[in-house]
């Protein structure tokens, strides 16, 4: 089975892909858009995409892409992320003048970076891609923030590990697939993600959320995104802690459809947290079988 992810080998998304499907052939992609494209084209069975981080917040582009493409969410998972500062062998922290990494990783290591006066921080497309950049260009006055696994992949050494602002640093990933090729499982779904729009009138959001509250359905995530072509109107993405096979969930969505101009079920699936008894995955480190 082929599983697509965004980034270079050693990226955290690769770790998530291997965590979800340990025997898969992982397929690196230069962008999130490309992950969606090749899964939609059938060139990969699954795509694994970060959707939010416990420190840096939401990856908004992937919410937009979920709406732009006809793919179904078939799973999710969480990984604890441990960031390290990597450099070419022989390079010391005192000689570092630039640090490269993805904007999310830079945000997650803000306190560490503010403690390095005079060092330029440069945003790149990928954490592991930043490590690759050091290797490709043989940059002797630069470092990258990435995983320990990226250090092993690109022959770098670790100047310092655990540099994120908070020890409990988790990223949640979604697993997407074409509906006609979605993996089959005997486990009943316990989570559903929907997106809907609402009329711009007083109490509209309260009314929408009440269809779940009145039926005792737990909302684990609520995210708003601008509605394209409709300035100052919004789409609402909601994660429900229940599968659509549940009668209460079905009735709630039917009720919501009565007054929501648009409503789309993005997927009803078995959450990885349920499979692991509510515990997140192990930290992403070099040599970890799930990294």
The CATH number linked to 45 is 3.40.190.10
Surface-to-core class of residue 204, CB atoms within 10 Å of its CB (0-12 exposed, 13-18 middle, 19+ buried): middle
In a domain, 131, yes or no: yes
Q: Are residues 174 and 207 in the same domain?
A: no
Q: Are residues 75 and 178 in the same domain?
A: yes
Q: Specify the length of the chain in residues.
A: 291
- Give pLDDT, residue 179: 85
In a domain, 289, yes or no: no
Known catalytic membership, residue 171 = yes
In a domain, 279, yes or no: no
Which of the following is catalytic: 5, 32, 36, 173? Answer: 173
Domain count, the chain: 3
Q: Are residues 73 and 104 in the same domain?
A: no
On whether the CB atoms of residues 125 and 110 are closer than 8 A, the answer is no
Q: Are residues 214 and 150 in the same domain?
A: no
Which of the following is catalytic: 171, 192, 193, 244? Answer: 171
Q: Are residues 42 and 176 in the same domain?
A: yes
In a domain, 268, yes or no: yes
Q: Are residues 104 and 238 in the same domain?
A: no
pTM of the entire predicted model: 0.87
Q: Are residues 68 and 88 in the same domain?
A: no
In a domain, 229, yes or no: yes
Question: Which regions of the chain are under pLDDT 70?
Answer: 273-291
Q: Are residues 223 and 239 in the same domain?
A: yes
Q: Are residues 44 and 173 in the same domain?
A: yes
Q: Does residue 107 sit in helix, strand or coil?
A: helix
Q: Are residues 19 and 35 in the same domain?
A: yes
Q: Are residues 77 and 88 in the same domain?
A: no
Domain extent, residue 234, equals 191-274
Known catalytic membership, residue 5 = no
Tokens of 270: 């078995």
Q: Which residues of 89-125 are buried (b: 16+ CB within 10 A; e: fewer)?
A: eebeeeebeebbbbebbbbbbeebbeeeeebebeebe
């Amino acid at each position: 089975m082929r599983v697509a992810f965004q980034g270079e080998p050693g990226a955290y998304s690769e770790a998530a892909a291997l965590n979800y499907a340990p025997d898969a052939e992982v397929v690196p992609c230069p962008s999130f858009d490309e992950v969606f494209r090749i899964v939609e084209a059938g060139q990969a069975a699954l795509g694994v995409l970060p959707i939010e981080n416990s420190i840096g917040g939401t990856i908004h582009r992937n919410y937009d892409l979920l709406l732009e493409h006809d793919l179904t969410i078939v799973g999710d998972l969480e990984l604890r992320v441990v960031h390290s500062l990597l450099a070419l062998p022989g390079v010391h922290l005192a000689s570092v003048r630039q640090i490269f990494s993805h904007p999310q990783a830079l945000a997650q290591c803000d306190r560490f970076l503010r403690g390095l006066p005079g060092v330029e921080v440069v945003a790149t497309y990928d954490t592991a891609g930043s490590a690759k950049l050091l290797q490709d260009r043989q940059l002797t006055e630069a470092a990258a923030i990435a995983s320990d696994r990226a250090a092993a992949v690109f022959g770098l050494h670790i100047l310092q590990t655990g540099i994120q602002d908070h020890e409990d640093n988790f990223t949640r990933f979604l697993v997407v697939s074409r509906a006609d090729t979605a993996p089959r499982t005997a486990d009943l779904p316990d989570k559903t993600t929907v997106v809907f729009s609402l009329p711009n009138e007083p109490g509209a959001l309260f009314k929408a959320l009440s269809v779940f509250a009145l039926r005792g359905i737990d909302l684990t995530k609520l995210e708003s995104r601008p509605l394209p072509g409709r300035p100052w109107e919004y789409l609402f993405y909601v994660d429900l802690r229940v599968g659509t096979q549940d009668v209460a969930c079905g009735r709630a969505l039917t009720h919501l459809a009565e007054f929501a101009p648009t409503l789309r079920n993005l997927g009803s699936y078995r959450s990885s947290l349920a499979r692991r008894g509510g515990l997140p995955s192990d930290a992403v480190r070099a040599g970890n079988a799930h990294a």
